């Protein structure tokens, strides 16, 4: 049976999750996992470059540096699994998104993490650059993981929603009627804004368990200003990123609310995520919302989602057999398998592409 590796680093820019898996029908067997954290200087440079603060040299150097770290993550998970590289069919590397601008006359999405380095240093064929073919065909290039959700998490006769709480939150509705179209899109900010504010105010990279937010109270005036953002009322297909929802966006709003305590701002950001998910998610009787991504570990966010999304039940993707941290890395391992099998990796009804497309460029070992 062929083995596959998935590599994922999201908009939170905190590190690279690597997983080595095998697929058998709808069963996923995990053989090893590994996380490679970004050094603080790399994370800071990535954050700066993602906000257009940098030079072409910075881009080139970071492409090489992140490519080296992605290769390290891959070799580490290979060693943990004890698999010879020759037994691994391919690595699916999402790369590190720097800018995602799918709208306008010249849409683009930039992921770095040189796949040539990954293939060269691991000796394993690497598939990367998954988003741009969907963009070329008129799609958003995101979200791509709904195709994986459909393949592994759908259930006839049961409405399910997969909620990924990464730097940006996105949803996939898997309808009870398997012949009905899947829907999916980015709802707005999740961890990225909360992490940015936490780092700015406390020096900590994130608010563990949502404890700091839980010390604050929601400021309804600030929340109202946030909810006036036009993105939230746009109809899908749509996707977004830290190009829009970043610390500068927040601080412009805070100019109108200069006396708020830091914890109150953090609690209001958390409420923004809970409310915008609830407002945009489809609601069906008996539907369960299965949560994945780093936000699944935020106890307060999970509590508030249960309130805002009621009567739908909030649960973890662990109930579906896959730990919340590893859903997206497994998805990119699967997308690599789709690419090498000559099968499409996008859902046009989700991304808005003109049709199904085979995604990813192949870098042979």
Q: Where are the alpha helices (DSSP H) in the chain?
A: 40-50, 56-81, 115-122, 132-136, 146-153, 191-202, 211-215, 220-227, 247-254, 262-280, 299-308, 327-340, 348-351
Q: Is the per-residue pLDDT at 72 higher than 90?
A: yes
Q: Domains in the chain, start-ordered, CATH in brackets?
A: 3-141+325-363 (3.30.420.40), 146-320 (3.30.420.40)
Burial letters for 226-238: b for 16+ Cβ neighbours within 10 Å, e otherwise?
beebeebeeebbb
Q: Which 3 state secondary structure label does DSSP give 93? A: strand
Render pLDDT for 281-320 as a digit per residue (tens, 0 to 9): 998 999 999 999 999 999 999 999 999 999 999 999 999 9
Which residues belong to the annotated binding site for ATP?
Answer: 10-17
Which residues belong to the annotated binding site?
Answer: 10-17
The whole-angstrom separation of Cα 132 and Cα 139 is 9
Give the pLDDT band (50/70/90) at residue 14.
confident
Provide the 8-state DSSP code for 286: T
Render pLDDT for 96-139 as a digit per residue (tens, 0 to 9): 999 999 998 999 999 999 999 999 999 999 999 999 999 999 99
Render pLDDT for 158-190 as a digit per residue (tens, 0 to 9): 999 999 999 999 999 999 998 999 999 999 999
Q: Is the per-residue pLDDT at 338 higher than 90?
A: yes
């Amino acid at each position: 049976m062929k083995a596959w590796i998935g590599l994922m680093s999201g908009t939170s820019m905190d590190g690279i999750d690597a997983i080595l898996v095998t697929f058998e029908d709808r069963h996923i067997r995990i053989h090893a996992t590994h996380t490679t954290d970004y050094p603080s200087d790399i994370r800071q440079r990535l954050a700066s470059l993602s906000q257009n603060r940098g030079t072409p040299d910075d881009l080139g150097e970071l492409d090489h540096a992140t490519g080296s770290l992605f290769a390290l993550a891959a070799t580490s998970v290979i060693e943990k699994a004890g698999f010879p590289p020759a037994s691994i069919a391919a690595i699916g590397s999402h790369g590190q998104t720097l800018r995602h601008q799918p709208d306008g006359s010249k849409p683009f999405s930039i992921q770095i993490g040189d796949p040539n380095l990954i293939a060269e240093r691991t000796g394993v064929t690497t598939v990367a650059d998954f988003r741009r073919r969907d963009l070329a065909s008129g799609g958003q290039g995101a979200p791509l993981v709904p195709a994986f959700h459909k393949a592994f998490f759908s259930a006839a006769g049961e409405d399910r929603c997969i909620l990924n709480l990464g730097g940006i939150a996105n949803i996939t509705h898997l309808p009870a009627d398997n012949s009905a179209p899947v829907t999916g899109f980015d709802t707005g900010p999740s961890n990225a804004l909360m992490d940015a504010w936490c780092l700015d105010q406390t020096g900590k990279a994130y608010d563990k368990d949502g404890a700091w937010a839980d010390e604050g109270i929601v400021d309804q005036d600030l929340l109202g200003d946030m909810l006036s953002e036009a993105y939230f009322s746009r109809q899908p297909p749509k996707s977004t990123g830290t190009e829009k929802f970043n610390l500068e966006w927040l601080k412009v709003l805070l100019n109108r609310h200069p006396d708020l305590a830091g914890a109150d701002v953090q609690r209001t950001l958390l409420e923004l995520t809970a409310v915008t998910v609830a407002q945009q998610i489809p609601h069906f009787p008996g539907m369960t919302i299965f949560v994945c991504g780093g936000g699944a570990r935020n106890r307060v966010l999970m509590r508030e989602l249960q309130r805002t999304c009621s009567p739908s039940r909030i649960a973890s993707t662990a109930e579906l057999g896959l730990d919340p941290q590893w859903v997206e890395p497994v998805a990119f391992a699967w997308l690599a398998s789709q690419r090498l099998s000559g099968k499409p990796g996008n859902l046009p009804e989700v991304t808005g592409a003109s049709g199904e497309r085979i995604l990813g460029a192949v870098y042979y070992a």
